[in-house]
Amino acid sequence: MGSLCAGLVTAGGARTGLGAEVALVLVTSTKTPLENLSLGDLRQLFLGATLRDDQGGTLVPLNQEPGTPERKAFDRRVLGLSPDEMARYWIDQKVRGLKGAPRNLGPPQMLARVVERFAGAVAYLRPDQTHPGLRALRIDGRPSTHPHYALAAPLKTAPTSPNP
């Protein structure tokens, strides 16, 4: 239904050469008391840290499938890592005996249904993949409609023509 608005995130970023922009919104279940995450906490959550909501419930990060524009955009913008860097990070964590990567869940529709039903789940979706059972999370106190929402991509400037 796409009732939740989102910032734009650049998929792939400059280092990969992919310039497609994907609108994303950070979501949780309406059953979860969480309404806001700091960007630092969001980063730590998706890098394996255990975080809890205000009532002591454990937050569980859920990823989109690797290679999707949404996943590439989220990893680059929030975690600052390319797909290869992400793979190396999780291999290193496994070798050290630390917590594994967030679970990847199939199609976005399935991810949305799981997040809706599972209190504590946190994921990112395109606005058209959301529905009323999901709550858009603020990041650093800003709603996804705010121009400086943490997942928003920098505004692109119009190309200038060279002087004749």
pTM of the model: 0.81
Indicate which CATH number applies to the domain containing 54: 3.40.190.10
What are 102-140's pLDDT values in tens digits? Answer: 999 989 999 999 999 999 999 999 888 989 999 999 999
Q: What are the strands, taking DSSP E only, across the chain?
A: 7-10, 21-29, 36-37, 60-63, 103-104, 121-125, 134-136, 138-139
For residue 147, being part of any structural domain is answered with no
Range of 35's domain? 7-139
Number of domains in the chain: 1
Question: Which two structure tokens, joined as six digits, stand for 152?
Answer: 């928003």
pLDDT value at residue 111: 96
Among 127, 151, 15, 155, which Cα is nearest to 79's?
A: 151
For residue 161, being part of any structural domain is answered with no
What are 79-90's pLDDT values in tens digits? Answer: 999 889 988 999
For residue 79, being part of any structural domain is answered with yes
For residue 157, being part of any structural domain is answered with no
